[in-house]
Amino acid sequence: MRIIDVQDIGSIIESIRPKTNDDVKQKVLSIISNVRKRKDKALKEYETKFSGVKIHSLKVTKQEIKSAYSKVGKDQIEGIKLAKMRLEKSENAVRKKLQNMTIVIDGVVMKKTFLPIDTVGCYIPGGKARYPSSVVMSVVPAKVAGVKKIIAVSPPNEKGKIDPLTLVAADICGVDEFYKTGGAQAITALAYGTESIPQVDKIVGPGGVFVTLAKSLLSEVVSIDMIAGPTELAIVADATADAELVSLDLISQAEHSPDSMCCLITNSLKLKNLVLQSLQQKIKTIKRASIVEESLRKNGFIAICSTEQQMVDFANKLAPEHLEIITKTPQKLAKKIKSAGLTLIGKNTPSSASDYLLGSNHILPTNRFGRTRGSLGVLDYLKMNTQIESSKLALGKISKYMKALTDAEGLPNHYEAVRGRLS
């Protein structure tokens, strides 16, 4: 991991931000164009190219879902059900707060209601990996919101199949249709629709560089949840932190992929040295060591700060997806954090647990978008609908000021539309 002496926070943050690769962008644009024109045929060709198998039917059948149950363990099924139950509880608590309302202002009646989106597409990472937990995180809030139709897509494995536990999770959580396609091609299919895959109103879910870029490029034709790219973890820790726990947490997120960004923000040189020693020892024996090592070497760093306030300032500027606080007074420090996608307080709140069973959502903003939004949730699947009704008397009360403002903006016909109702 790189060691950074924090002085000019702005320039440091800019230097470590992920950059868009123009070559990757052109490839994604080519995929978008091809799928838009050739639909299912292009999807099947891409799955053969990327997965190495020939896909005859993109849609997962009811029989495939039924047989998936026999291929997974009881504890795995119970784990999915527990994750679903805990996330439902937290999302329902939010949903109940979103009450319809009527506002009356001088004869103007305004009604605000929260309506579920009709159709949502959930991207589930897959292929060589398996992420049934991402099914829970994307589908449960949609069900709580009342989304009418939930479509899931995921890249098939080398056998042309979707991971059994992913299918079981989809069945338990209430996915309506599941399709075997991934990458930028799957995002395009959801955005425009194909012969098999219906067009959706919104696309949600995390993914790699190709998926994230496709979502961004297609956001002009379909709504998206956020930029949720490769995992990010920052740990703010002082001299009281256990270096072994810090290193375990860095490893736990680095194992996602070589593109993961994991860092330690500290004001303790002693902790820095102990964490580096621990990582060097653990890397020799852990599973997925090559991925962890590449991730930490390529994207990992330790930021050395002079004060606790500088640690806070650095963390807020970095705005990481996950931010752990392992300090002497973590609750006090957490009150100063405004920009993280998810803040995890204290030594017994590892980000890995939040990825599964703490009741929070692990689909979170990356690439500094934590400055403006938090985790995926029921709000992402609702539209606030506004209806307004005015009376002639109410228009009369605003007439004088309408004329003043419309004259100021050079839009006189706006005023005439009001005046015509008053004569």
Give catalytic residues, as residue numbers. 321-322
Is residue 182 within 8 Å of residue 154, measured between CB atoms?
A: yes
What does the DSSP assignment read for 364-381? Answer: ---TTGGGT--S--GGGG
Q: Which residues fall within 8 angstroms of residue 215, CB to CB, at 6 or more apart? A: 187, 203, 207, 224, 227
Give whole-number Cα distances, 79 to 68, 83, 84, 164, 324, in Å.
16, 6, 9, 14, 24
Output the six-digit token pair for 199: 């067009």
Is residue 6 within 8 Å of residue 306, measured between CB atoms?
A: yes
- Cα 7 to Cα 73: distance, rounded to the nearest angstrom: 51
Nearest C-alpha neighbor of 340 from the set 360, 355, 320: 320
Q: Which residues fall within 8 angstroms of residue 211, CB to CB, at 6 or more apart? A: 123, 125, 182, 183, 184, 186, 187
- Cα 377 to Cα 92: distance, rounded to the nearest angstrom: 10
The owner of tokens 């760093």 is: 301
Q: Which residues fall within 8 angstroms of residue 236, CB to CB, at 6 or more apart? A: 265, 266, 311, 312, 315, 323, 324, 325, 326, 327, 333
Nearest C-alpha neighbor of 391 from the set 112, 103, 106, 113: 106
Torsion angles phi and psi, residue 261, rounded to 5: -115, 115
Q: Which amino acid is at 247?
A: S
